[in-house]
Amino acid sequence: MTDNDSKLKKDIRSLLKEKKAVLLAHNYQRDEIQEIADIAGDSLGLSQAAAETKAEIIVFCGVHFMAESAAILSPDKKVLLPNLEAGCPMADMVTVQKLREVKKTYPDAIVVCYVNSTADVKAESDICCTSSNVVKVVGSLNGKNQVLMIPDMNLAKYAQRFTQKTVIPWKGFCPTHHNFIKEENVRETMKEHPKAVFMAHPECTPEVLNLAHHIASTSGMIKFAQECSHNEIIVGTEIGIGYRLRKGNPEKEFYFPSKEQICPNMKVTTLEDVLKALEDEKHQITVPKKIQVRANSALEKMLSVS
């Protein structure tokens, strides 16, 4: 850590206190961001935790849809996204217009929307889900035999394993999990470390999930790593999670099948961005009231299940 980084961290923490702000960091953020965060975790969990604080400002180190979720759950707080370049390719793979068109093709299907989506898409959906509760959410849809799941086709295929309902997958995916965590790389890593167990995120392809000993969200992975008896773990998700895995389990070894399993959007936010956002209170993320109400309804329906 450089002297400049130390000063930036000190200045950020000072401003957070002065402005009654809370700093959130997703598990995929840069190490130095996670290190100074008030709360680190997965996307929805961070927004829920922030809503329960007395903070007047939420500084969300994540991507755009995550800051929107925070704005939906905390309409009375100011939500800042330190770097506006932090988008999500998967969230961009579905639009309200296209969703409306597809809904006409499947008029009897209930729309289950992964939280990794924009606020207006959530508002156009019936119920939300996360990677940790998707199976529960789909199972709760009594009397509904068709489920249109957006935008992640890999999550949809994972959910299909646990239900007799017909899950119709949207043709979207997370580029990091879909393109850079490959079956052959996982097999090679397993061969190199035969005593290791493999945990994978459900955004991975079915071929990769078939190799997993444990499938979970990022928070679920962190919990599994802490509770399992194995000292070697292969990790099938974005490399940023390595910070919390190593910090919480210094006696264990963690292996990533590919050096390319990086989300560039999660890495654009820097300490400088965080400080500047706090100083100027800029890059505020807002959600129009009409969309906020409808999107919140989809989230609340989910929360009543899980």
Sequence spans of domains, the chain: 3-87+266-286, 91-172, 176-262
**pLDDT at position 20 over 60:** yes
At the top level of CATH, the class of 3-87+266-286 is alpha beta
User: pLDDT class for 43, splitting at 50, 70, 90?
Assistant: confident
Distances in whole angstroms, Cα of residue 17 to Cα of each of 4, 10, 20, 55, 191: 20, 11, 5, 10, 49
**pLDDT at position 1 over 90:** no
- Topology agreement, domain 3-87+266-286 and domain 176-262: yes
As a whole-number percent, the residues of the chain with pLDDT over 90 amount to 97
**pLDDT at position 205 over 90:** yes
What is the CATH T-level fold of the domain 91-172, as seen in this structure?
A: Rossmann fold (3.40.50)
DSSP bridge partners of 39: 24
Instruction: Give the pLDDT of residue 306.
Output: 54
* Tens-digit pLDDT profile for residues 56-104: 999 999 999 999 999 999 999 999 999 999 999 999 999 999 999 999 9
Give 8-17 contacts, CB < 8 A, sequence gap 24+.
8/271, 8/272, 8/274, 8/275, 9/35, 9/36, 9/271, 11/275, 12/36, 12/271, 12/274, 12/275, 12/278, 15/275, 15/278, 15/279, 16/59, 16/278
As a whole-number percent, the residues of the chain with pLDDT over 70 amount to 99
* Tens-digit pLDDT profile for residues 263-287: 999 999 999 999 999 999 999 999 9
Mean pLDDT of 148-176: 98
**pLDDT at position 298 over 80:** yes
Distances in whole angstroms, Cα of residue 26 to Cα of each of 94, 107, 161, 263: 22, 36, 28, 12
Instruction: Give the pLDDT of residue 181.
Output: 98
User: pLDDT class for 211, splitting at 50, 70, 90?
Assistant: very high
Which superfamily does CATH assign the domain made up of 176-262 to? NadA-like (3.40.50.10800)
**pLDDT at position 169 over 80:** yes
State phi, psi for 68 to the nearest 5 degrees. Answer: -60, -40
How many helices (H) and strands (E) would you count in the chain? Answer: 15, 12
**pLDDT at position 2 over 90:** no
Compute the mean pLDDT over every residue in the chain, rounded to the nearest whole number: 97
How far is it, in rounded angstroms, from Cα 73 to Cα 139? 25
